[in-house]
Amino acid sequence: MSQLPSNEKGTVLAISLIILLLISLIGITGVQVTSLEEKMAGNTKDLNLAFQAAEFGLREGESFVRAQTGSTVFAGSGGLLGEVNDEPDFSNPENWTDDNSNQVDSDFGPDGVSEQPRYIIKLIGQTDLNNNQEGNLGNIGSDTSSGGELVNFRITAKGTGSNSGSVVLQSYYVWQF
């Protein structure tokens, strides 16, 4: 049996433990970064889904306007606001209830959302095509022989993703009745 030299003090062991600690810290940091990136990707996907749902709500609002025979339905209730109605606070959840907005039919709405998109339509002005051609934006309703009114709307839609994230979009829409 051989004896250990008396001048060894365990330096290799201390250095090995420090290196092991550094490698462990690098591994833990890598796991945390990967987890954070995964959460960011999930949130981006959810935001994109909410954006697409809000766009779907805008298109449904436009379809609703096209289905009407006149602007009298925009009397201030059920998310159909007239010219005299104040603009609601779109960040207030109470303005996105059944009493204050319209919900897209779930049979036709986007898949994967936690709730179907909702929209609010505000009539913001009318132009008589026979008397004022300046309101004829982009040659809309260029056939003025039939008369009628060129009606301007602001459609606001709220879409929700698969979680609770939501997006609110607005568009202006012009229709001739």
pLDDT at 33: 95
Lowest mean pLDDT among 18-32, 76-90, 140-154, 161-175: 140-154
Distance, CA of 61 to CA of 84 (rounded, Å):
20
Handedness of CA 72, 78, 80, 81 (dihedral sign): positive
pTM over 0.85: no
Which string of DSSP letters, residue by residue, matches 21-86? HHHHHHHHHHHHHHHHHHHHHHHHHHHHHHHHHHHHHHHHHHHHHHH-SSSTT-SSBTTEE-TTSP
Q: Are 53 and 167 in contact (CB under 8 A)?
A: yes
Percent of the chain with pLDDT over 70: 83
- Rank 28-42, 67-81, 126-140, 162-176 by mean pLDDT and report only the highest: 28-42
For 103-150, the pLDDT digits (tens) are: 988 777 788 898 999 999 999 987 665 555 554 555 555 555 555 678
Q: Are 152 and 164 in contact (CB under 8 A)?
A: no
For 48-61, the pLDDT digits (tens) are: 999 999 999 999 99
The CA–CA distances, whole Å, from 143 to 19, 68, 70, 76, 157 equal 82, 20, 18, 30, 31
